[in-house]
Amino acid sequence: MTGGPGSSFECAWSEHWPKMRRARIVGLWLLAARACANANCDDGECEQPDATGLVQVTHKSKAKANEAEPTNPDFGPNVIVLEPGAASSAIEDRLQSLYEQYISWDEDAQFGDHRTAILLKPGEHQVDVNLWYYSGVHGLGVSPEDVIVKPGLRGEGLRVEQQPPSYPGGPLLPNTNTFWRTIENVHVAQGKLDFFVSQAAPLRSVKVDGNLYLSAGGSDWTSGGALMNSDVSGSIVTGTQQQWYTRGTLMRPYDHPAGQGSYACISCVDRESGLPFYDSWNFEQHQPDQTWHSGLTYMGAPEVFAEKPYIFFHEGQYKLRIPEVLQNHAGPDWQSGSTVGFDKVFVTKAKTTAAQINTAIAAGKHIVFTPAVYYLDEPIVVNHPNTVLLGLGFATLIPQKLPIFIGRGVIEVGNVDGVRLAGVFVQAGPMDSPDFSKAVGALVRWGKPEEPYAGTKSNPGFIYDFIARVGGPDHEPSGVGNMLEIHNGWVIGDNLWLWKADHCVSNSGALCIPQRYVNHCLVVNAENVHMYGLMAEHANDDIVVWNGEKGKRPGVHLDRIVYDDLDKGEDVLFTEHRASPGSAGSLVAAPLTPLFKPLLRFALIRWGHLRSSQL
pLDDT tens for 59-70 read: 233 333 344 357
Q: What is the pLDDT of residue 612?
A: 27
Q: What percent of the chain has pLDDT over 90?
A: 58
pLDDT tens figures, 370-395: 999 999 999 999 999 999 999 999 99
Q: What is the mean pLDDT of residues 206-223?
A: 91
State which H helix or E strand residue 504 sits in. helix 503-506
Give the pLDDT score at 574.
Answer: 22
Give Cα 41 distance to the centre of its chain: 34
Phi, psi angles (nearest 5°) of residue 99: -60, -50
* C-alpha span between 137 and 502 (Å, rounded): 28
* Identity at 343, one-letter amino acid code: D
What 3 state SS string does 420-453 have?
Answer: EEECCEEECCECCCCCHHHCECEEEEECECCECE
Contact call for residues 495 and 456 (beta carbons, < 8 A): no
pLDDT digits (tens, 9 = 90+) for 452-464: 999 999 999 999 9
Average of per-residue pLDDT across 115-128 = 98
525-537 in b/e form (b: 16+ CB < 10 A) is bbbbbbbbbbbbb
- Please state, in angstroms and as integers, the Cα–Cα distance from residue 130 to each residue in 160, 494, 595, following that order: 5, 25, 38
Q: Say if residue 296's pLDDT is above 80.
A: no
Least confident of 229-243, 489-503, 590-604: 590-604
Residue 553 has pLDDT above 60, yes or no: no
State the pLDDT at residue 257.
55
Coil vs helix vs strand at 466: strand
The pTM for the full model equals: 0.83
Those residues whose C-beta lies under 8 Å from the C-beta of residue 291, and which sit 6 or more positions away, are: none
What pLDDT band is residue 17 in, cutting at 50, 70 and 90?
very low
SS3 per residue for 285-351: HHCCCCCCCCCEEEECCCCEECCCCEEEEECCEEEEEECCCEECCCCCCCCCCEEEEHHHEEECCCC
Q: How far apart are CA 531 and CA 520, in angstroms?
A: 16
Give me the chain's average pLDDT, please: 80
Give SS3 for 51.
coil
The whole-angstrom separation of Cα 111 and Cα 9 is 26
- For 96-125, b where at least 16 C-beta lie within 10 A, e where not — what string? eebbebbbbbebebbbbebbbbbbbbbeeb
Q: What is the pLDDT of residue 16?
A: 32
Q: What is the pLDDT of residue 146?
A: 99
Confidence of residue 580 (pLDDT cuts 50, 70, 90): very low
Specify the 3-state DSSP secondary structure of 360. helix
* Confidence check: pLDDT of 49 > 60: no
Cα R_g (the chain), whole angstroms = 23
- For residue 271, the model assigns a pLDDT of 94
HSE at residue 559, side-chain half, CA atoms within 13 A, is 32
Q: How far apart are CA 14 and CA 523, in angstroms?
A: 56
pLDDT digit string (tens) for 58-101? Answer: 323 333 334 435 778 999 999 999 999 988 999 999 999 999 99
CB 500 within 8 Å of CB 537: yes
SS3 193: strand
Strand, coil or helix: 137: strand
Residue type, 236: I
Contact 480, 440 (CB under 8 A): yes
H or E segment and range at residue 96: helix 89-101
Examine the pLDDT at 106 and tell me if it is beyond 90. no
Is the pLDDT at 38 greater than 50? The verdict is no
Contact indicator for 118, 137 with CB cutoff of 8 Å:
yes
The single-letter code of the amino acid at 537 is: E
Provide the pairing of β-strand 396-399 with 420-422.
unpaired
Q: Please classify residue 127 by burial: count the beta carbons closer than 10 Å to its beta carbon, then call 0-12 exposed, 13-18 middle and 19+ buried.
A: buried
Judged against a pLDDT cut of 70, whether residue 430 lies above it is answered with yes
User: CA-CA distance, 123 to 112, in Å (whole number)?
Assistant: 33
Which residue did the predictor score with more confidence, 23 or 562? Answer: 562
- The pLDDT of 499-525, averaged and rounded, is 72
The torsion of the CA quartet 572, 578, 581, 583, rounded to 10 degrees, works out to 150
Q: 481 pLDDT exceeds 90?
A: yes
The full 3-state SS of 235-284, as one line of letters, equals: CEECCCCCEEEEECCEECCCCCCCCCCEEEEECCEECCCCCEHHHHCCHH
What length is written for the chain?
A: 615
Q: How many angstroms from the chain centroid is the CA of residue 390?
A: 11
Q: What is the DSSP string of 593-608?
A: HHHHHHHHHTB--STT
Q: Omega before 225 cis (within 30°)?
A: yes
**Closest of 504, 492, 497 to residue 537, by C-alpha:** 497
Query: Up-side HSE of residue 138: CA atoms within 13 Å toward CB?
Result: 25
Q: What three-state secondary structure class fits 177?
A: coil
- Average of pLDDT values for 413-441? 92
| pLDDT above 80: residue 566 | no
